[in-house]
Each structure stands twice: as C-alpha cells, then as structure tokens.
C-alpha cells in the first residue's frame, strides 16, 4: 500500500512555489517494536514550517532535501506494536505532511481523550500548538496582569486570535488587534471579541496605536515583526513586555530585504523587555494548559475558526495562504476525512 508524502525538493527563496515541494510515493511504513502505525487524518499548516525550509539555524534543524515536510497532525492508530497505543486511538504528534506516519520513542504521540465534546479540527486549533503558544506566551513570557493594555498582531490568525482572548480571560483591561484588511478587522472584533482592531494596511499605524492606547502598551504579543514591531516599540508603556512569538513579515525576506528595527532604544526609555520563547520548553505543562483551554472552549470564552483545505496535495498552497493573508483562522489540511474524534 502506498504512502503519499510531500517532500522538500528545493529550498525556496521567497514564497513556496511548485518547484519547492514534490509528491513522493513510497511504501506504507510498517510497525516496528515499540511503534504504532498511524493513518493521518489532519495536518497542520503553520508559518514556522516556512522557516524550517531554509538552510539556516533555528530551534529545530532545517528540513532536509528529499525529507517529508515537518508538521503537527492527528491520526488514527491502525496497528500497534507498543503498549502506549491501542488500535482505534486518536493521536496527536509530528506526523508530517503524509498519509501514514509512525509513532516511536523518537517521535512520541499524545493519545487524545474521547467524549470531550470537541471535534478534531477544534483540538488541532484551540488545544493545539498554536493555542499553546498563545497560552504560554501571554501567561508566562508576557506575565499578563489585571488591567493590562494588550496589543496582538496577526490577530485574526490561529495564534493571535487565541492570545487576545486568553489575555482577556486573564484580566486585560483593553485588547487591541492588528490585522490586514477590513474583513479581518471586523472578524477580530466581532468573532474574537477584541475591543478594537487596527488595519496595518492603512497608513499611520504608529499614530493609531497611540490613539487606541494613549497610556501605552503594557504587553505586545508579536507574530509579525518588522515595521509593525517598530510602531509598537514607539508606543510601549513603562515596564512593557514584548512577547516575540513570530516574525511572519520577515520569514520570506532575503538578508537585504530584512527590516531594520529602529526603536529598540525605547526599551531603555521605558525599561521594557523583549523576549523570545519556544513552546517546546513548556511541553510538561501542556496537559494542564489544554484542560484550561478546553474549559474556555466549552464555556464559550475561547472562540475559534478553522480554515479547512481538503487534500494533502494542496498543503503547499495552503502554506502560502498564511503569507498572503488569504486565510481566515487556523489552516488545516484534511488528509483523510474518515478520521474523527467522535
């Protein structure tokens, strides 16, 4: 039986195009001792995947040429040679963009509880890696506190929409989003309950941030980097915290195109902090955070939206949606619709 996989053919210089990846057909893997064979249901499409395609240092090694594209995913255990997994389990792990995956000691999977009342796309969005990134970014790195004025960029995206809502639950006085275009801004306010949303495609973002947050920005959850980060730095409050989660505006940039940040001296003037983090450092705290996130979903405090793309072969185009801003919500690719959590 075949395993269709999407592998890296050439390293892209800007956006991913038809030469970047190719479909590779190999034999379905077998289940070795201590392993489990997984039929992949849904795979995730995240900006960080674009970073792994570069031959550059990162928090994980680059994806090798000819290797399957690294990605989180969920699937069904169809064969188990390990006491950790049972046939019929729905599991979450680093499946990659392929039809069949193998759980092993080197690539462990979490078994998802059934009967939670949430479906698989919801788990991958509101309880998945992007939501966990939002959770630990806001609570731990950003040290959110009662009364904070919070700004979130990429506010219509999978991480940003959750970050703003968690900030609200944790006591933020005002939550302002930044997103691209009027449709997304409406979505951020109406669907995700932000107090306001600024369209960065309109001029004068720095001034509009000042108008929205006249006493300054206490916490900024940054998904985009570049000029927007500079505009926020100009408006940072005394002892403000900038959670450096991502820099999607810069991932496709060549060294010459990379934006040069001019306002970091505001860190001195406002005694502020800019800090990066990696969600993998929090892995032991995931179960507890996911319980809390599930509670927020079920109580309606955490609204979420999935942008489903059908068919593994469309995953590369789906990745570009994130950079063109063409997505609404968490982008997921349905590899096999028969795999469900119910």
Question: Which spans of this chain sit near its own copies (rule: CB under 8 A)?
Answer: 57-59, 225, 229, 244-247, 250, 255, 258-262, 264-278, 281
Tell me whether residue 275 or residue 310 sits nearer to its own copies (CB atom).
275
At its nearest, how many Å lie between its own copies and the CB of residue 14?
A: 17
Question: In terms of CB distance, is 74 or 159 closer to its own copies?
Answer: 159
Q: CB under 8 Å, gap of 24 or more: what pairs does 256-263 form? A: 259/225, 259/226, 259/227, 259/230, 261/229, 261/230, 261/233, 262/230, 263/230, 263/233, 263/234
What minimum distance in Å lies between the beta carbon of 263 and its own copies? 8
Nearer to its own copies, 227 or 317 (CB): 227
Whose Cβ is closer to its own copies: residue 249's or residue 327's? 249
Positions of E strands within 104-216: 110-111, 149-153, 174-179, 196-199
CB of 270 to its own copies, least distance (A): 7
Phi and psi torsions of 335, nearest 5°: -90, -40
Mind giving me the DSSP string for 196-226? EEEETTSS-HHHHHHHH-TT-EEEEEESS-H
Nearest distance from residue 57's CB to its own copies, in Å? Answer: 6
Least distance CB 140 / its own copies (angstroms): 12
- Min dist. Cβ of residue 246 to its own copies (A): 7
Measured from the Cβ of residue 72, the count of other Cβ atoms closer than 10 Å reads 21
**Three-state DSSP class for residue 264:** coil
| Closer of 210 and 314 to its own copies (Cβ) | 210
Nearer to its own copies, 141 or 198 (CB): 141
Q: d(Cα 131, Cα 124) in Å, to the nearest integer?
A: 9
* Least CB distance to its own copies at residue 241 (A): 9
Query: Which two tokens mark 70?
Result: 């690294």
**Distance (Å, whole) CA 38 – CA 83:** 15
Strands 73-80 and 36-44: what pairing?
antiparallel
Of 187 and 231, nearer to its own copies (C-beta) is 231
């Amino acid at each position: 039986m075949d395993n269709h996989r999407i592998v890296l053919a050439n390293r892209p210089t800007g956006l991913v195009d038809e030469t970047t990846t190719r479909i590779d057909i190999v034999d379905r893997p077998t289940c070795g001792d201590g392993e489990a064979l997984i039929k992949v249901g849904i795979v995730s499409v995240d900006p960080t995947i674009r970073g792994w395609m570069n031959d550059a240092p990162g928090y994980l090694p680059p994806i090798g040429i000819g290797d399957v594209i690294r990605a989180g995913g969920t699937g069904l255990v169809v064969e188990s040679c390990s006491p950790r997994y049972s046939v019929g389990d729905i599991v979450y792990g680093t499946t990659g963009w392929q039809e069949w995956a193998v759980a092993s000691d080197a690539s462990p999977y979490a078994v998802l509880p059934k009967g939670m009342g949430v479906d698989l796309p919801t788990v991958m969005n509101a309880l998945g890696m992007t939501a966990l990134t939002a959770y630990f970014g806001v609570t731990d790195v950003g040290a959110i506190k009662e009364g904070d004025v919070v700004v979130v960029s990429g506010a219509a995206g999978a991480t940003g929409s959750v970050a703003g809502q968690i900030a609200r639950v944790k006591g933020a006085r005002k939550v302002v989003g930044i997103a691209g275009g009027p449709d997304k801004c409406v979505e951020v306010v109406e669907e995700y309950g932000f107090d306001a949303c600024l369209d960065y495609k309109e001029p004068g973002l720095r001034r509009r941030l000042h108008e929205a947050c006249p006493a300054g920005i206490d916490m900024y959850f940054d998904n985009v980097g570049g000029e927007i980060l500079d505009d926020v730095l100009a408006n940072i409050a005394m002892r403000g915290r900038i959670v450096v989660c991502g820099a999607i505006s810069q991932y496709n940039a060549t060294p010459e195109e990379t934006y040069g940040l001019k306002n970091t001296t505001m860190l001195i003037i406002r005694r502020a902090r800019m800090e990066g983090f990696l969600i993998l450092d929090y892995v032991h705290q995931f179960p507890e955070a996911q319980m809390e996130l599930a509670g927020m979903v079920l109580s309606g405090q955490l609204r979420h939206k999935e942008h489903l793309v059908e068919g593994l072969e469309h995953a590369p185009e789906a990745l570009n949606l994130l950079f063109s801003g063409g997505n609404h919500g968490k982008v997921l690719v349905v590899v096999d619709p028969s795999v469900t959590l119910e």
